[in-house]
Structure 1
Amino acid sequence: MTETTETTTVQDEVLTEVRGQVLIITLNRPKAKNAATENMAKKMAEILDDFESSDELFVAVITGAGNTFCSGMDLKGFVRGERPSVEGRGFLSLTEQPPKKPIIAAVEGYALAGGFETMLACDLVVAADTAKFGIPEVKRGLAAAAGGLVTLPQRTHRAVAMEMALTGDIYSAEFGKTNGFVNRIVGDGQALDAAIELAQTIAANGPLAVKASKQVIVESADWSTEEKFAKQSAIVDPVFTSADAKEGATAFAEKRAPRWTGK
């Protein structure tokens, strides 16, 4: 039986739940469409640090309560001088320094502004067919500085990123899938379950291999043709000599599920 643990209180703006090796993070301000606050950013920093250091958790899923992912920054807090970010880590402590382990966004409803940029900081995106995306900061006299201007062009075509940033318009899940920033589209209300299923598929694999694979894909964008295989070797060679690599081969030969140790 899969172990499930949950920590929630009425006033918590960020909730966590563990299902096996998967951490589920829920942004929990549904009445405000999960608009991000300074307090949420600080809590996210703690949660993500614990996730990264855990030997038991392999993949995280981030979602929002109340059929909305995140509508962006809490503008009332912004007027008071608050920012929903942590220095060096970005919006919700995620956009500038994502975890080294995989993280999946499960999107229902709106992922706008900082919410969209939070989604972009995730490695994979599962979206309901009714989900809506956009970086409408220009409509408020602001700029999409949490990743909309620098990360989105890496996840889609330059022309698409330019249109989204300059118009501030809202776009559909199908638009996101067509233009490369949504991986899977599911029915309304099914995004979290589908994201957890995807996370569990990833978590069943060797954690060292998964982590190294993500690292190479993320970092190789800046590698030259001449250096890419040498730099890749520095990251993946330890995987091939790990106890997990031996266990994976042994489990295959013995026709059983591998027992990973992360070593």
Structure 2
Amino acid sequence: MPDGCRRTARALAAAIDELEARDDLLVGVLTGSNGVFSAGMDLKAFAKGDTPVLEGRGFGGITRTDIKTPLIAAVEGHALGGGTEMALACDMIVASRDATFGQTEVHYGIVPPEGGMVRLPERIPRNIALELLLTGDPLPADRAERLGLVNHLTEPGEALTRALELAQRVARNAPLAVTAVKRVVNECTAFRDTDALRDQDRFVTPVLASMDAKEGARAFAEKRPPHWQGR
């Protein structure tokens, strides 16, 4: 992982730790910058054997972290690959109308191991999730809202403002009640099921280590079609 990606992941992990540690912080909002939420993993870095994953914390330092405080994603622009997985690690999603989600990993010989295969089928109909995961097709924000993935749609540039308004509405309520609601809802579904993430790894690890995975990343870096070998 390039030093910049590692620093970003560590900074995100540190921010989540502070959110969890401080009693005066009742809700968190995760957003990107410059009109992009996250375009996901740097495939050129992956081609060199680097990944944007922190041990025990997941993609960006958050996708496998047990977060007790409610977390809202404010999505502008692209949320692709690991970007979608970070949004799925949040409890609610606010997105601008021109935002785009997508688990595009299959285009590059890899799979979404940081929640895409576990959480997406919990948030939208299973058959639609399978279509998106198997084709790698993009999911526009307006359709994501109709499917129930996105809580609120906004005009471009207004996702963060709406997410902060939503956070304030949550934060007005009793802290113990808010924490209890999140834990009961999430622990009764696979939404934050760390066991499911661990179980999937026995299927995922060989794929990420395959020749096809390396070929997909190289083809992306070299701007050419990949040549799959099925191994």
Post-superposition offset of 1:98 = 4.0
State the SS of the aligned residue for 2:51: coil
CA distance in 2, matches of 1:184, 1:98: 24
Greater fraction strand: 1
- Equivalent-residue separation in structure 2 for 1:146 and 1:195 (angstroms): 23
**In the TM superposition, what are the counterparts of 1:79-94 in structure 2 within 5 Å?**
79-94=47-62
SS at match of 1:159: helix
1:184-213: per-residue Cα shift (whole Å, max 9, x none)?
A: 101111100000010011111111110111
Q: Which 4+ residue blocks in structure 1 deviate beyond 6 angstroms? A: none
Q: Which amino acid aligns with 1:204?
A: R
Whether 2:138 is the aligned partner of 1:173: answer no
- Find the partner of 1:97 among 65, 68, 74: 65
Shift in Å, 1:96: 1.4
- Is the 1:39–1:84 contact (alpha carbons within 8 Å) kept by the matching residues of 2? no
Query: 1:200 matched to which residue of 2?
Result: 168
Letter in 1 for 2:145: K
Q: CA deviation at 1:84?
A: 1.1
Matches within 5 A, 1:1-263: 37-221=5-189
Q: Which amino acid aligns with 1:44?
A: L
**Matched position secondary structure for 1:51:** helix
- For the residue of structure 2 that corresponds to 1:176, the secondary structure is helix
**8 Å Cα contact 1:98-1:121 kept in structure 2:** no
Amino acid paired to 2:162:
A
C-alpha distance in 2, partners of 1:98/1:191? 25
Q: Distance in 1 between matches of 2:7 and 2:47?
A: 15
5+ residue gaps, structure 2, are: 191-231
Structure 2: distance between partners of 1:140 and 1:215:
35
Distance 1:39 1:144 in 2: 22
Give the counterpart letter for 1:93 in structure 2: G
User: How far apart are 1:74 and its partner, in Å?
Assistant: 1.6
**Could you say which structure has the larger radius of gyration?**
1
**Distance of 1:62 and 1:80 partners within structure 2:** 29
TM-score, normalised to structure 1, is 0.69
Mapped partners of 1:64, 1:162: distance in 2: 27
CA distance in 1 between partners of 2:117 and 2:32 (Å): 23
Counting helix residues as a fraction of each chain, which structure ranks higher? 2
Query: What is the identity percentage for the equivalent residue pairs of Structure 1 and Structure 2?
Result: 45
One-letter code aligned to 2:180: A
Give the Cα separation in 2 of the matches to 1:221 and 1:73.
27
Moved more, 166-175 or 38-47: 38-47
Given that residues 40 and 84 in structure 1 are in contact (C-alpha distance below 8 angstroms), is that contact kept between their aligned partners in structure 2?
no
What SS does structure 1 have at the residue aligned with 2:30? strand
CA RMSD of aligned residues (A): 1.5
| Secondary structure, aligned partner of 2:188 | helix
> How far is the alpha carbon of 1:63 from its aligned partner?
0.6
